[in-house]
Structure 1
Amino acid sequence: MTVKTTERRLFDYAWNYRKNISIGLLCLIIAVSLELTGPFIAKRVIDEHIVGIEDQWYQVSEDREGAVSFNGAVYMREDRLTDHEELNDVMTIIQVDRSYYFVEGNVPLKGSRTVEGNQIIIEAPDRTYERSAEKLSLQRLYGFFKPEIPSIYALLAVYIGLLLIASVFQFTHTYILQKSSNRIIKKMRDDLFNHIQRLPDRFFVNQPAGKIVARVTNDTESIKELYERVLATFVTSVFYMAGIFAALFLLDAKLALMCLVLLPILYGWTKLYKHFGGKYNKVVRSTVSDMNGNINEAIQGMSIIQAFGQEKQTSDEFEELNKRHFTYQRKLVRLSALTSYNLVNTLRNLTLVGLIWYFGSSSLGAEGIVTVGVLYAFVDYLNRLFQPVTDLVNQLPQLEVARVAATRVFDLLDEEEEELDLDSIPRFEGNIKFEEVRFAYDGKNDVLKDISFQVNKGETAAFVGHTGSGKSSIMNLLFRFYDPQRGSVYIDGCDTRKWSQQQVRSHMGIVLQDPFLYKGTILSNVTMNDARISREMAINALKAVGADRFIEKLGHGYDTPLNERGESLSMGERQLISFARALAFDPAILILDEATANIDTETEQMIQNALEVLKQDRTTLVIAHRLSTIQQADQIFVLNHGTIVERGTHEPLIALQGQYYKMYQMQQRGAKANAM
């Protein structure tokens, strides 16, 4: 099996929504392309319509659009003339410092220029020109600019229109990518939560709930930032930089090649940050999970913490985690602060130095190797280039946070899950058999040793013994929370390993010593929102266990809302609801895991009375704490250190005067002492 990288798996999730993402990226490309037309339009405005008047002007015979009247004659710029047009006298407009001069004849536009009185001297590479010149006043100069104004306005209007269109595509791109990212995270969270429900029970034994919650909520939220902001920023920046480099090559290929040195520097910095940032973020994310687990445990056990005065110790444990989080978070901040801002500014300054060096002081005059418009466009593009560079560098911390979070999420998704098979199987008759079963949670130290017994359908079997004797382990094997290392568990003569865990549990019900109620109503806790359990069936189950006696006294009756874990009810009331839940599903095999250990005698008697009615055609297995509750059991198994040391019914076991007898006598003495 090929192990996919975190990046590849993130890509696979995004691939599910490739159509929308592709549309979003197409909108991005269009928006970037439209935005990058600005410097080119500015170049044209400058070169052709502002400094463009510095050119040869030919006298024409008639006034027309673009022509300028000067000294009683009509002149047309050389680049506005047609090839077949008859030309007369030629004049040249030249700029010297901040002034413009009208020069007789055709003189070169390149070379150094000086003015002496009414004479202009031009030192061109081939020769020196000296001509009479007329300085243009501001009013007369405006006459040469005036024909360019409509074109300037038209180009500016085009640019504004392109920006408005680009904003529409930019909004569409942002909306689509954010919508897609939310869908990706929704699917990821659904996959993660569904996967958690298929994990074997042994996974949760060593995993604090807070850590698992952190992966489903905090880590996926960080991944959402990756798709919603980081990915969008990286894609936008890459397209933007690609467009800028393309424009730079169109303007000046040699200088554009020099600017390409930014790419390996940026790549090297990304790899460097990934190395250190990844290590720091791994510790930060792990510590956040530990903090969630610590907080969850402290809140659930706050009454015990306060009762035993352990507030300071609990605070110290949390402070240790908080300090570790602060330390590594500070390292991340230092890593970003010392490099990201300085990196971009250093690169920007070096690039500007290179630009000045490349053009040289002598190249910036009128005789320079590039036009003013090209120079403006180049500087504009260089300034624009560093904005996506800044965005990329600033997103590196969030990128590493998301990458580490994704690794944690995928590690959880890679946990081996139970075989999922929801196909229905016939209802059990209820015959149970354990045959030479050996089992160890760690695979080494056996908690069950060669356990063999049989319980026939309709019988009630009780399992008693001291803590750690293996009672609950037998139930864990029966429910297929675990499978034995040796031996087999049979239901109706079929090895339970031939069915999926879901199929084995489909005809079983269980009531635990510590009843668990969900936030909702009393009825929803009985039905578990299963469509197969009607309201009437749930109410009948509650009445069968006698829970209607206290429920009908509540304000909303069976629809009374319960808070988390049903803390508003007494232990006995919660147990009755838990018992009714098991009965509502009409299991063929009913397991009571010390279900009456924490309730009062009156409530226990109510359950015993209900059981007498409901035992018919149902196999019942009881893990007993109070031996007085199992005297009528069809079989009693006494366990000690993972083995069955005695078996039989109540009276013969008492007569045997073995371990069961000693346990019974001890409880009887305790009951008498409490009664005095």
Structure 2
Amino acid sequence: MANIHEEEQLEKSYDGRLMRRLLGYAKPFKGMIFLSILLLLVITVADLARPLLIQTAIDDHMNVVGAKFVPSQNGEEINLEKSYRYRDLLLVRETDLTAEQRAQAGDRPRYHIEEPSSGQYVMVHSGTGTAIPMSTDEINAFKDKEVNALTRIGLIYLVLIVSSAVLNYIQTIILQRTGQRIIYNIRQQLFTHLQRLSISFFDKNPVGRLVTRVMNDTEALNEMYSNMMVTLFKDVFILLGIVVIMFNKSVELALISLVCIPLVVITSQIYRYYARSAFRDTRVKLARINATLAENIAGMRIIQIFRQEKRMHGEFDEINQAYFRASWRELMTFAVFRPSMEFFSALALAILIWYGGGKVLDSTLQIGVLYMFITYIQQFFQPINDLSEKYNILQSAMASSERLFQLLDTHDTIPDPAAPKGLAGVKGRVEFKNVWFAYDGENWVLRDVSFTIESGETVAFVGATGAGKSSILSLISRFYDIQKGEILIDGVNIKDVRQEDLRRFIGVVLQDVFLFTGTVRDNIRLANSAITDETIDRSIRYVNADSFIEKLPGKLNEQVLERGAGFSAGERQLLAFARALAFDPAILVLDEATSNIDTETESLIQDALVKLTHGRTTIVVAHRLSTIQHADKIIVLHKGRVRETGNHQELLAQGGMYYNLYQLQYKEAFQPA
């Protein structure tokens, strides 16, 4: 698999292939997503209705547009089309009588309602000066009609606000829960996939990189699912709704209001170009700074021992400066774009007020309509700003999904057989038949290796570094697959057995013991409920681990820190022996398991080995020949081939490679036979 810090390869801001795969994870939740979109549509309608309500209140009731009034004298119905209320004075700017009345008058008669010095309201014809008295009840009825209408509008407005708040809460809960469930499924799929990959994959990929994939990149996708994918519909709904309403009310004002849109489009395209470049550069620098930081923390012991603090500080400062510059460039890009949108919004608002205000003064535009357009213009530019942020989220999602799918598409796995054979009642006979193995290409680590380990035997592998000893142990557990030959357990080819079934009968103690956070008891049991407390107690006594466990404040319930910090190397090895023994494997593998143990602990291990190896096949790799002298068979490897086989005395008598290794280790005490 290629390096999966592949931000540099992201050349497109949007990749339809990746998006289709991302939407595939949302498909099981399409019902909830559709409900969220439907709620957003209702919320958008409620938000867009509020300026319309205020416009109606101003023009239809505060200015009494279209109100009906019947004068008391002759019962004629007058349509008060446009009027303005100032304190207790209502001026009727224009009236519309019947066609017969207009014909009699010869022109459009004008009326106004005023309060003369006598205190009585009258309706006065502006042309003839005829005054029609109005009773107090008529005036109050006229006022009450408008007040009641305003009250209804106010209640409707309140209902819209409350409903919008409640629906927003419900929609947010639904959307966030759906997004978290999608991310949960992706993270589970990633972790499950990682567990299926072969050990060779982890040899080539640092742990920090994989943790970043599972945690950071999935979190970037969470932003897309929770804050972009569905809320994008709201932005579109708002923009379309505002445009439709404005053109429906006044095409002229709508065109004036949207005069700045071409500038917005041009600026957005420029922003997209520079933002995409800045975003990719920032993510590359971030990946480098994370890798450097992880490496320095992991190697802090070496840095301090060799006094490399100053040099590493300089290297980190250089990478940190590069990240700072990239981040600053990204921030500056956004810092220019956001004020630009604010400027265009203010410019559009200024043009609208200048043009619309003149229309209001000319009595050709109602003031409520102007207010509505001003409100919609202010609302119109907010989704545009939101879309720019969603573009950043999309960029991050595309980069993260590319790396995640690279990981998920990695097929560096060891396949299980289609028709697996069982391994019930394993006795522990191990046989290698003409095995050839290489980690890479034809750089052979093992060359035509053949040997047989009988059930219950203790067999040790010795040889120089790189001879292939540890590789043999890895192949028995099928951590890697061989290129040629066969590996048999009880006469069954391990390729014909499920890996889970195979490893159930193999216990491994490695040189570098890994302890998980939790208690000592948890580290021995490893969540296997079949291992009882009695089994654990017996295991720790067998390997003499009780000598230090009993001294711990919490004994078996003592908390273990990360990687077993606080325990000595020998104590971690003893716990590993207890763990292997508790699982009672038919085949016990010890890979340099005693190399980090002091002399005192080694004596405890030697005593435990007799009990550990009793009744089970034991395979040992050791450089310290003192730990394998009592092995039933010793196999000497050199450059991937079996060179010598026999027990300790037989190999010494041959005077070959084993003899030379023994002489090197015990040069002073060695006496020829």
Q: In structure 2, what is the equivalent of residue 27 of structure 1?
A: 39
CA distance in 2, matches of 1:162, 1:429: 76
Q: In structure 2, what is the equivalent of residue 189 of structure 1?
A: 187
CA distance in 1, matches of 2:585, 2:145: 94
After superposition, the C-alpha distances for 1:181-217 in whole angstroms (9 at most, x for unaligned) are 2222222222222222222111111222222222222
Q: In structure 2, what is the equivalent of residue 9 of structure 1?
A: 21
Identity %: 37
Q: Which residue, 382, 385, 389 being the options, matches 1:390?
A: 385
After superposition, the C-alpha distances for 1:449-474 in whole angstroms (9 at most, x for unaligned) are 11111111111111111111111111
Q: In structure 1, what is the equivalent of residue 345 of structure 2?
A: 348
CA distance in 2, matches of 1:560, 1:568: 11
CA distance in 2, matches of 1:411, 1:275: 26
Q: In structure 1, what is the equivalent of residue 79 of structure 2?
A: 78
Residues 98-107 or 214-223, more deviating: 98-107
CA distance in 1, matches of 2:513, 2:83: 97
Q: In structure 1, what is the equivalent of residue 458 of structure 2?
A: 460
Q: In structure 1, what is the equivalent of residue 12 of structure 2?
A: none
Distance 1:56 1:223, change over 3 A: closer
CA distance in 1, matches of 2:384, 2:496: 59
CA RMSD of aligned residues (A): 3.7
Q: In structure 2, what is the equivalent of residue 413 of structure 1?
A: 408
Do structure 1's residue 131 and structure 2's residue 137 form an aligned pair?
no
Number of residue pairs the alignment of both structures matches:
626
Q: In structure 2, what is the equivalent of residue 49 of structure 1?
A: 61
Do structure 1's residue 521 and structure 2's residue 519 form an aligned pair?
yes
Distance 1:275 1:576, change over 3 A: farther
Distance 1:356 1:457, change over 3 A: same
In structure 2, the gaps of 5 or more residues are 1-14, 113-124
Please state whether the residue corresponding to 1:131 is helix, strand or coil: coil
Please state whether the residue corresponding to 2:456 is helix, strand or coil: coil
Q: In structure 2, what is the equivalent of residue 250 of structure 1?
A: 248
Distance 1:239 1:652, change over 3 A: same
Q: Compute the displacement of 1:355 (Å).
A: 5.0
Do structure 1's residue 481 and structure 2's residue 482 form an aligned pair?
no
Given that 1:287 and 1:324 are in contact with CA atoms closer than 8 Å, whether structure 2 keeps it comes out as yes
Please state whether the residue corresponding to 2:413 is helix, strand or coil: coil
Distance 1:18 1:616, change over 3 A: same
Given that 1:594 and 1:625 are in contact with CA atoms closer than 8 Å, whether structure 2 keeps it comes out as yes
CA distance in 2, matches of 1:647, 1:16: 60
Q: In structure 2, what is the equivalent of residue 337 of structure 1?
A: 335
Distance 1:439 1:51, change over 3 A: same
CA distance in 1, matches of 2:334, 2:95: 63
Q: Which residue, 624, 633, 636 being the options, matches 1:635?
A: 633
CA distance in 1, matches of 2:96, 2:501: 102
TM-score of the pair, normalised by structure 2: 0.83
Distance 1:517 1:19, change over 3 A: same
CA distance in 1, matches of 2:93, 2:287: 78
Given that 2:427 and 2:490 are in contact with CA atoms closer than 8 Å, whether structure 1 keeps it comes out as yes
Q: In structure 2, what is the equivalent of residue 499 of structure 1?
A: 497
What amino acid is aligned across from residue 599 of structure 1 in structure 2? I
Q: Compute the displacement of 1:349 (Å).
A: 5.1
Counterparts of 1:78-477 in structure 2, within 5 Å, are 78=79, 100=91, 131=127, 147-231=145-229, 233-252=231-250, 276-342=274-340, 344-348=341-345, 351-352=348-349, 363-368=359-364, 370-416=365-411, 418=413, 425-477=423-475
Given that 1:427 and 1:507 are in contact with CA atoms closer than 8 Å, whether structure 2 keeps it comes out as no
Residues 246-255 or 186-195, more deviating: 246-255
CA distance in 2, matches of 1:217, 1:145: 65
Q: In structure 2, what is the equivalent of residue 619 of structure 1?
A: 617
Q: Compute the displacement of 1:48 (Å).
A: 1.5
What amino acid is aligned across from residue 215 of structure 1 in structure 2? R
Q: Compute the displacement of 1:511 (Å).
A: 0.5
Please state whether the residue corresponding to 2:228 is helix, strand or coil: helix
Distance 1:573 1:233, change over 3 A: same
Please state whether the residue corresponding to 1:510 is helix, strand or coil: strand
Q: In structure 2, what is the equivalent of residue 67 of structure 1?
A: none
Please state whether the residue corresponding to 1:568 is helix, strand or coil: coil
CA distance in 1, matches of 2:325, 2:385: 26
After superposition, the C-alpha distances for 1:6-45 in whole angstroms (9 at most, x for unaligned) are 3223222222333333333322222221221112212221
Counterparts of 1:643-658 in structure 2, within 5 Å, are 643-658=641-656
Q: Compute the displacement of 1:547 (Å).
A: 0.5
Distance 1:131 1:532, change over 3 A: same
After superposition, the C-alpha distances for 1:227-268 in whole angstroms (9 at most, x for unaligned) are 333345423322322332332343245765787898898788
CA distance in 1, matches of 2:21, 2:361: 56
After superposition, the C-alpha distances for 1:131-164 in whole angstroms (9 at most, x for unaligned) are 356999xx99997656422211221221112211
Q: In structure 2, what is the equivalent of residue 66 of structure 1?
A: none
Given that 1:55 and 1:93 are in contact with CA atoms closer than 8 Å, whether structure 2 keeps it comes out as no
Distance 1:265 1:235, change over 3 A: farther
Distance 1:325 1:670, change over 3 A: farther
CA distance in 1, matches of 2:61, 2:347: 32
Given that 1:438 and 1:450 are in contact with CA atoms closer than 8 Å, whether structure 2 keeps it comes out as yes
Residues 568-577 or 99-108, more deviating: 99-108
After superposition, the C-alpha distances for 1:514-547 in whole angstroms (9 at most, x for unaligned) are 1111111111001111122222212211111110
Please state whether the residue corresponding to 1:155 is helix, strand or coil: helix
After superposition, the C-alpha distances for 1:468-521 in whole angstroms (9 at most, x for unaligned) are 111111122222111112222222222222223323212111111111111111
Q: In structure 2, what is the equivalent of residue 125 of structure 1?
A: none
Residues 578-587 or 288-297, more deviating: 288-297
Distance 1:389 1:101, change over 3 A: same
Please state whether the residue corresponding to 1:5 is helix, strand or coil: helix
Distance 1:194 1:552, change over 3 A: same
Please state whether the residue corresponding to 1:661 is helix, strand or coil: helix
CA distance in 2, matches of 1:101, 1:408: 71
Distance 1:499 1:270, change over 3 A: farther
Given that 2:278 and 2:329 are in contact with CA atoms closer than 8 Å, whether structure 1 keeps it comes out as yes
Distance 1:516 1:148, change over 3 A: same
Counterparts of 1:534-545 in structure 2, within 5 Å, are 534-545=532-543
CA distance in 1, matches of 2:335, 2:160: 37
Q: Compute the displacement of 1:623 (Å).
A: 0.7
Q: Compute the displacement of 1:389 (Å).
A: 1.6
Given that 2:462 and 2:623 are in contact with CA atoms closer than 8 Å, whether structure 1 keeps it comes out as yes
Do structure 1's residue 566 and structure 2's residue 564 form an aligned pair?
yes
In structure 1, the gaps of 5 or more residues are 62-72, 81-91, 116-128
CA distance in 2, matches of 1:77, 1:420: 90
Given that 2:437 and 2:482 are in contact with CA atoms closer than 8 Å, whether structure 1 keeps it comes out as yes
Distance 1:47 1:610, change over 3 A: same
CA distance in 1, matches of 2:149, 2:40: 29
Given that 1:284 and 1:328 are in contact with CA atoms closer than 8 Å, whether structure 2 keeps it comes out as yes
What amino acid is aligned across from residue 573 of structure 1 in structure 2? E
Residues 629-638 or 491-500, more deviating: 491-500
Given that 2:289 and 2:323 are in contact with CA atoms closer than 8 Å, whether structure 1 keeps it comes out as no
After superposition, the C-alpha distances for 1:28-74 in whole angstroms (9 at most, x for unaligned) are 2222212211122122212211333588966355xxxxxxxxxxx87
Q: In structure 2, what is the equivalent of residue 87 of structure 1?
A: none
